[in-house]
Amino acid sequence: MTIVDSLIAVLAVIGTLIVAFVVSVWLPGIERKLIQARIQQRIGPPLSSPGLMAPIKFFFKEIINPNSPMPKLYNALPLIGIIITLFLLMIIMPQLYPLAAFTSVIALVGLLKIEEVLYMFMGTLSKSVLSVKMPFPDVVKGAKHPEVPRSFIEELSSMRAFRLIAFGSFPIYLAIFIPVAMAGSIFIEDIVAYQQLHGPVLFSLAGILGAVVYFFGFMILLNEYPFSILKTKADVIEGPLLEYASKYRAYVFISRGLLIFVLACIFSTLFLGIPPNILSWTILLNIVVTLAFTILMAIVSAFSPIFTFKQFYPVVAGISLLGVLGIIASFL
């Protein structure tokens, strides 16, 4: 590899990251304005508002320190989330395939796991003002149970994040395993090469099952309705994200849009054999897949209530079973 080739590779990586940013800021707007608002027969926000203008607005807001035992770490977590998401994207870029160990499914799964664990950290590090003890008459005058230890609503979120990590992430990992089983390799490069030779994984029975399972795993990872028990507004409201303000909330918004794009790109890499690469016209296919995922997610969310664990466990079990069937089919 010459210096020029290396330079082109670096520029391609940077270019792809820029494309990811540019596309991701429009995705929340597409989700809310073009799909959900249309389904709900309302005007909805401007297309640029949820993903682009809202983060810009929050960047210029006054910084408010969260009610947290470690506010600096708590505020740093969304930024860490963005960095992890960017690493996820870099793993699947063809320019980085020479770093063989780094660009494997193992690294992919590990980074996704860190992304999930961040919510648990956020929950344990946040104690919102909504749960702060207030001097209410019921505490001093004839309350039913006056001296009960109090729990913060973020602690509930943290426990739910733990359950999601333990159980809710089964579908996405099962789905990722299907192309691995078909290609017989854990390296992204081999999975892409296998599909260039044999056609996309998606066009097989195992691939179809895997795509369905991946899509639900994608929704669970994004905490999107109906799988948003982590931040259901019926009790924990925004959950671990509640205390983020000013630029830190902007990071949360950016992180979500970016994660949608990256997860869609992971799908197109593993199931279609199209990694995100600015040097190829196929980057347009990545964007199309991203839009398809965003639109499908918005439609499913618009027609779903939020699941509690009573519904969540059987649904995830059913989807995981489908994933297992997909893996079995991949060996046939």
Partner 1 sequence: MDKDKITNETPKKQVIETEVPMGTVHSAAIEPYRIRLFVEDEIVKDAEITVGVNHRGVERIMEGLPVEKANSLTEKICGICSNSHIWNSVLVAEKALGIEVPERAQYIRIIMEELERLHSHMLYLAHGNEVLGHETFSMRLFYIRETVMELLRMIGGNRVQYGVSILGGIRPRADLNQMRIQKINEGMDFVEDKISNFAERFISDPMIMSRITGVGILKKEDALRLAASGPTLRATGVSIDLRKDMMEYDPFEFDVITQDDGDVKSNLLVRVLEIPEAIKIIRQAVKNLPEGGITNRSWEMYDTPITKSYIEVPRGKLYHSYALEEGRVRHSIVRTPSIANIGAMEQACIGCHITDAQLAVVQCDPCFTCTDRAIQIIKL
The binder of partner 1 chosen from 60, 145, 281, 331 (CB under 8 A): 145
Judged by CB under 8 A, does residue 142 bind partner 1? yes
- CB nearer to partner 1: give 48 or 304: 304
Cα gap 52→254, rounded to integer Å: 8
Contact of 272 with 195, CB cutoff 8 Å: yes
Taking CB under 8 A as the criterion, which residues in 44-103 touch partner 1? none
Q: Which two tokens stand for residue 189?
A: 């490069």
The binder of partner 1 chosen from 177, 225, 251, 267 (CB under 8 A): 225
Contact of 201 with 210, CB cutoff 8 Å: yes
> Between 286 and 305, how does the x/- string for binding to partner 1 read (CB under 8 A)?
----------------xxxx
Judged by CB under 8 A, does residue 159 bind partner 1? yes
What are the beta bridge partners of residue 187? Answer: 104
Binding segment toward partner 1, per CB under 8 A, in 11-19, 33-41, 69-77, 93-101: 33-41
Residue 203 CB coordination number (10 Å):
12
Judged by CB under 8 A, does residue 36 bind partner 1? yes
**CB contact set of 50 (below 8 Å; sequence gap of 6+):** 28, 29, 31, 32, 33, 253
What are the beta bridge partners of residue 104? Answer: 187
The binder of partner 1 chosen from 73, 284, 308, 318 (CB under 8 A): 308
Omega within 30 of 0 (cis) for the link into 226: yes
Taking CB under 8 A as the criterion, which residues in 3-22 touch partner 1? none
Cα gap 105→26, rounded to integer Å: 28
Judged by CB under 8 A, does residue 184 bind partner 1? no
Cα gap 8→59, rounded to integer Å: 33
Q: How many residues bind partner 1 (CB under 8 A)?
A: 43
Judged by CB under 8 A, does residue 137 bind partner 1? yes
Judged by CB under 8 A, does residue 149 bind partner 1? yes
In terms of Cβ atoms closer than 10 Å to its own Cβ (0-12, 13-18, 19+), residue 331 is exposed
Residues binding partner 1 (CB under 8 A): 36, 39-42, 130-131, 133-134, 136-138, 141-145, 148-151, 153, 156, 159, 225-226, 228-229, 232-235, 237, 302-311
